[in-house]
Amino acid sequence: MLDKRRLRCFSAVGLALGTALMTSSLASTTAWADGACKPHTIDLGEGKSMMGGCGPLHIALLMAATNNTHLQSAIKGAKEAAAKIGATLDVFDPNWSASVQYNQAQNVISSGKYNAIVGEMNDGNQACKILTETAREKGVLVAVANEPICDRAAEEGEKLWAPGTLNFVGGSQGRGPFRDWIMDIAKNNPGPQKVAVVTGPDLNANTINTDLALKDVKAKYPDFDVVAVVRTDYTVVQGNSKTLPLFQAHPDLTILISNYSDMTRGAVQAAKQAGALGNGKLKIYDSGGNIWAFQAVKAGQIEYTRTLLPYTEMYESVIQLGDAWVGKPVPRTTPLEVHEITKDTIDKFQPQY
């Protein structure tokens, strides 16, 4: 299993790199340089495997998009990990389009230019066969990050990993963490509540898991009345434009939950425009933990934020590709730690984006 100290190091100091990661990366680079590595079989589960080699990895990073600071932090993590292990890395941006991203995956696999993929897929079900079967058949090793594939978005633990791929790195935005988060909000706000929820696009795994978490919460807390669920493209602009009408239509709203900080930022602006911010009734809860969210906690604009670790997520995905390529075992799943950032805990952590 992965040394948990590695992940604690990331969550505690943001972008600082853990010693264990750096040691692993340098060992991988050394193995390629001195010719000590020999081709070997990489186990992909359920009897599936592919050959790993000693030449440098050429990685295609299939991002969901590149248009926000969370995604840019993830790209930075992947690039810095690739540099550590002596790999090349190209970034592919589908701008949230599942069909564009699928075509990018096809082109990457058929081009012969790449022997590895890190996939953050907009539609994990559509991408299932091409990443678990086609890529393996073409000698392309696949690591999956952030959003599970093959209808596993709502699973927990090792079931987040899809056989045919190397691993899954993530989990802080899975069904379990989202359920626990929203359960905690409901528990801490007993009695009748008027609730609105802001999420990303429909096919996104985080949206799916937020919706499932709401069902779990409403079954246990029937007074937790969700009066509106708003879909956005994760931007500040849509976080504002799509919640302003919501605040105007529901002046009695008591709770707003947003599962990404840029949307929350836009919603806070909208709440201020509508006169709901600081009205003594509305509480705003955020998932994301970016620089703005930390500042908003200090300012009392939101109750708290929960951390996401995009840099760690992609850095670790690339490192594990490098380890597997030179014959080292890697875990099937690597869960990331989540921390609630309140006024009492804010000085203990640093945002990653």
Q: For residue 211, give every residue at least 6 positions away whose Cβ sits within 8 Å of its Cβ, in sequence order, or none.
A: 199, 229
What per-residue confidence (pLDDT) applies to 337?
87
Residue segments in the chain with a per-residue pLDDT below the cut of 70: 1-37, 54
**pLDDT (tens digit per residue) in 173-182:** 788 899 999 9
Question: Alpha-carbon distance 213 to 241, whole Å?
Answer: 25
What per-residue confidence (pLDDT) applies to 19?
33
Question: What HEC string does the chain produce?
Answer: CCCHHHHHHHHHHCCCCCHHHHHHHHHHHHHHHHCCCCCEEEEEECCEEEEECCCCCEEEEECCCCCCHHHHHHHHHHHHHHHHHCCEEEEECCCCCHHHHHHHHHHHHHHCCCCEEEECCCCCCCCHHHHHHHHHHCCCEEEEECCCCCCCCCCCHHHHCCECECEEEECCCCHHHHHHHHHHHHHCCCCCEEEEEEECCCCCHHHHHHHHHHHHHHHHCCCEEEEEEEECCCCHHHHHHCCHHHHHHCCCCCEEEECCHHHHHHHHHHHHHCCCCCCCCCEEEEEECCHHHHHHHHHCCCCEEEECCHHHHHHHHHHHHHHHHCCCCCCCEEECCCCEECCCCHHHCCCCC
**pLDDT (tens digit per residue) in 312-329:** 999 999 999 999 999 999
What per-residue confidence (pLDDT) applies to 29?
42
